[in-house]
Amino acid sequence: MNRPTVVTSLVAFFIAALNLAAADKPKTSGPSSVWVAEKDGHSIYLAGTIHLLREKDYPLPKVFEQAYKDSSKLIFELPPNSEGNGEIVLRMRKLGTYPEGAKLSDQLGADTLKRVQEWAEKNDYPMSAITRYRPWFLSLTIAAIEYQALGAESGRGLDTWFEKRATADGKPGAGLETVEYQLTLFASLPDKIQEQLLLQTLSEAETMKKDYEDMIAAWRSGEMDKLQEFLYRDADKFPELMQEFLVKRNLAWVAPLMSYLEKGERVMVLVGAGHLGGKTGLLELLKAKGCTIRQLEK
Domain membership of residue 251 as a residue range: 5-21+24-295
Taking the C-alpha atoms of residue 50 and residue 139, their distance in angstroms, rounded to an integer, is: 18
Closest CA to 187 of 244, 117, 247: 244
Average pLDDT on 250-261 reads 97
Residue 180 has a pLDDT of: 86
**Regarding beta strands 73-76 and 173-175, do their DSSP bridges make them parallel or antiparallel, or are they unpaired?**
parallel
Report the alpha-carbon distance of residue 206 to residue 75 in Å, rounded.
33
- Asked if 187 and 88 count as a contact pair (C-beta separation under 8 A), the reply is no
Residue 141 in this model has a pLDDT that exceeds 80: yes
Model confidence at 232, in pLDDT bands (50, 70, 90)?
Answer: confident
Is the peptide bond preceding residue 99 cis, with omega within 30 degrees of 0?
no
DSSP 8-class letter at 99? P
**Long-range contact pairs involving 245-248 (C-beta distance under 8 Å, separation at least 24):** 245/4, 245/5, 245/6, 245/7, 245/185, 246/4, 246/5, 246/6, 246/274, 246/275, 246/280, 247/280
| The pLDDT of residue 22 is above 50 | no
Q: Is pLDDT above 60 for 280?
A: yes
96 has a pLDDT exceeding 90: yes
Say how far apart CA 115 and CA 122 lie, in whole Å.
11
Is residue 96 within 8 A of residue 18, CB to CB? The reply is no
Q: In the chain, how many domains are there?
A: 1
CA distance 130 to 137: 9
Distances (CA, A) of 73 to 44, 97, 196, 270, 276: 10, 37, 37, 11, 20
pLDDT for 226: 86
265 by DSSP, 3-state: which?
A: coil
Report pTM: 0.87
